[in-house]
């Protein structure tokens, strides 16, 4: 049996839209990107959603918004030490300084107790990551942020469908940044999107994704039809508004073909979510029998986990290494991924931050001993049972 890590659902509706878009010759960001944004915002429970070209760009642009609201280059953003490296990269790309806090080994998420000690007069925001779709402790994080007048930007890359106390990920902070990469529940193949209730933030985001230009309407007349735009030359003789740049920006637009795939995914979102959640919760229940040697996350009473993948962490008592476990799973046809690393101490690119091994013990332990495997919608009970049987087979020979 072969169990790949991820999959993508491309619906017949998406294929029809792609053909229509190709025949129209209007492939850049236009009406279908707007439609996807509107539907995504409704799904998350936010007033606005702004589509961009990747999940990393979603993080980066959400952070760059803060310059319009008092932040300065070099200011600090608190992030968990353990995450996919895009989180740290985005902070740097946006012109800020990442300040790392250790994680809780049970939740994989930023430890709220470590946040307060990381705050300085230069801190501007906290960026919690809902790692593996498990919601971070948002009540405590928002309370800390409120006391220190900080913004909260959710890195919800893996958290499609996650819920915390009745609210969906992406509606819990000032902004939520999602990845729409091929392995995620909602995919546009490549892509990202930022959700927010703040219309001023959304307006700045639309400017940032297009080089920082002053042209930032929610729906652009020129992108949907050859029509006259009253705003284009109505800026007191300043020329074409499309060539007036109000801020440092990026080239991060989503195109119509990607949006077409995303629209199809939204149509079957609940079906995908239900199947993946069924797989994840079944595996979480079954894997508890191995807790002495391998542990995973647990679902709290106040949450629903966004079923991105099944994380597993090899415990100290185990007589085997992560690499031995990975080798067995891979030879058995089960695709694996490392459970990321401690960015400041296990990623060479962040050496300049001056941290040393031991500074983030929980993130480092998971970085050395954690993996994750797929729970996607193409898997069924037979595949889930095969995963458990394969783990049991391995543990029988190595414990």
Q: CATH 3.40.640.10 residue ranges in the chain?
A: 12-267
Q: Which helix (H) or strand (E) holds 329?
A: helix 322-331
- Output b/e per residue, 339-356; b: 16+ Cβ within 10 A: bbbbbbbbbeebeebebe
- CB neighbourhood size of 291 (10 A): 10
Predicted pLDDT of residue 217: 73
Domain 12-267: CATH class, spelled out: alpha beta
- CB neighbourhood size of 238 (10 A): 11
Q: Which helix (H) or strand (E) holds 85?
A: none
Q: Which helix (H) or strand (E) holds 65?
A: none
Q: Which residue, among 295, 304, 303, 297, has the nearest Cα to 277 in the 3D structure?
A: 304
Residue 117 three-state SS: helix
pLDDT tens per residue across all 399 residues of the chain: 999 999 999 999 999 999 999 999 888 888 999 999 999 999 999 999 999 999 999 999 999 999 999 999 999 999 999 999 999 999 999 999 999 999 999 999 999 999 999 999 999 999 999 999 999 999 999 999 999 999 999 999 999 999 999 999 999 999 999 999 999 999 999 999 999 999 999 999 999 999 998 877 777 755 655 566 777 776 666 678 778 889 999 999 999 999 999 999 999 999 999 999 999 999 999 999 999 999 999 999 999 999 999 999 999 999 999 999 999 999 999 999 999 999 999 999 999 999 999 999 999 999 999 999 999 999 999 999 999 999 999 999 887
Q: Which residue, among 28, 92, 48, has the nearest Cα to 205 in the 3D structure?
A: 48
Q: CATH 3.90.1150.10 residue ranges in the chain?
A: 269-398
User: For strand 76-80 and strand 97-101, is the pairing parallel, antiparallel, or unpaired?
Assistant: parallel
Architecture of 269-398 per CATH?
Answer: Alpha-Beta Complex (3.90)
Predicted pLDDT of residue 77: 98
Instruction: Report whether 195 contacts 170 (CB < 8 A).
Output: yes
Predicted pLDDT of residue 223: 62
Active site residue 372: no
Predicted pLDDT of residue 266: 97
Find where tokens 């930007």 sit: 153
Predicted pLDDT of residue 237: 64
Q: What is the DSSP string of 247-313?
A: S---B-PPPHHHHHHHHHHHHTHHHHHHHHHHHHHHHHHHHGGGTTTEE-----TTEE---SEEEEE
Instruction: Report whether 55 contacts 178 (CB < 8 A).
Output: yes
Half-sphere exposure of 95 (CA within 13 A, CB side): 13
Predicted pLDDT of residue 215: 75
Kindly list the distances between the CA atom of residue 342 and the CA atoms of 35, 39, 102, 373, in Å, as whole numbers in the listed order. Answer: 38, 35, 9, 19
Tell me which DSSP letter residue 362 carries: H
C-alpha dihedral sign at 355, 356, 358, 364: positive
Active-site residue (options: 160, 184, 372, 376): 184
**Over the stretch 201-247, which tens digit does the pLDDT of each residue have?**
999 999 999 999 887 777 775 565 556 677 777 666 667 877 888 99
């Amino acid at each position: 049996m072969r169990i790949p890590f991820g999959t993508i659902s491309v619906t017949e509706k998406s294929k029809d839209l792609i053909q229509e878009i190709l025949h129209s010759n209007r492939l850049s960001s236009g009406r279908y990107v707007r439609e996807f944004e509107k539907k995504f915002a409704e799904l998350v429970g936010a007033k606005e959603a702004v589509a961009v070209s990747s999940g990393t760009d979603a993080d980066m642009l959400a952070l760059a918004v803060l310059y319009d609201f008092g932040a300065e280059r070099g200011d600090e953003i608190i992030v968990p030490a353990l995450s996919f490296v895009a989180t740290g990269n985005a902070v740097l790309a946006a012109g800020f300084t990442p300040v790392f806090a250790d994680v809780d080994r049970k939740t994989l998420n930023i430890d709220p107790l470590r946040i307060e000690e990381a705050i300085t007069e230069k801190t501007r925001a906290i960026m919690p990551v809902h790692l593996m779709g498990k919601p971070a402790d948002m009540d405590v994080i928002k309370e800390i942020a409120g006391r220190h007048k900080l913004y909260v930007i959710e890195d919800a890359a893996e958290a499609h469908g996650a819920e915390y106390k009745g609210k969906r990920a992406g509606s819990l902070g000032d902004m939520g940044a999602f990845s729409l990469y091929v392995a995620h529940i909602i995919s546009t193949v490549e892509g990202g999107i930022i959700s927010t209730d703040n219309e001023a933030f959304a307006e700045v985001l639309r400017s940032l994704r297009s080089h920082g230009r002053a042209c930032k309407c929610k729906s652009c007349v020129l992108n949907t039809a050859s029509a006259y735009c009253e705003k284009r030359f109505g800026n007191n003789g300043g020329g074409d508004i499309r060539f007036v740049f109000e801020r440092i920006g990026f080239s991060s637009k989503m195109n119509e073909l990607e949006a077409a795939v995303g629209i199809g995914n939204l149509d079957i979102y609940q079906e995908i979510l239900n199947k993946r959640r069924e797989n994840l919760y079944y595996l979480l229940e079954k894997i508890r029998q191995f807790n002495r040697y391998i542990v995973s996350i647990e679902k709290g009473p106040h949450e629903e986990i966004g079923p991105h993948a099944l994380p597993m962490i090899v415990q100290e008592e185990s007589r085997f290494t992560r690499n031995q476990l990975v080798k067995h799973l891979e030879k058995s046809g089960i695709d694996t991924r490392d459970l990321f690393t401690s960015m400041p101490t296990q990623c060479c690119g962040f050496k300049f931050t001056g941290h040393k091994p031991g500074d983030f013990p929980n993130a480092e332990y998971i970085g050395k001993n954690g993996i994750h495997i797929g729970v996607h919608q193409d898997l069924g009970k037979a595949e889930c049972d095969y995963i458990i049987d394969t783990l049991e087979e391995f543990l029988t020979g190595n414990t």
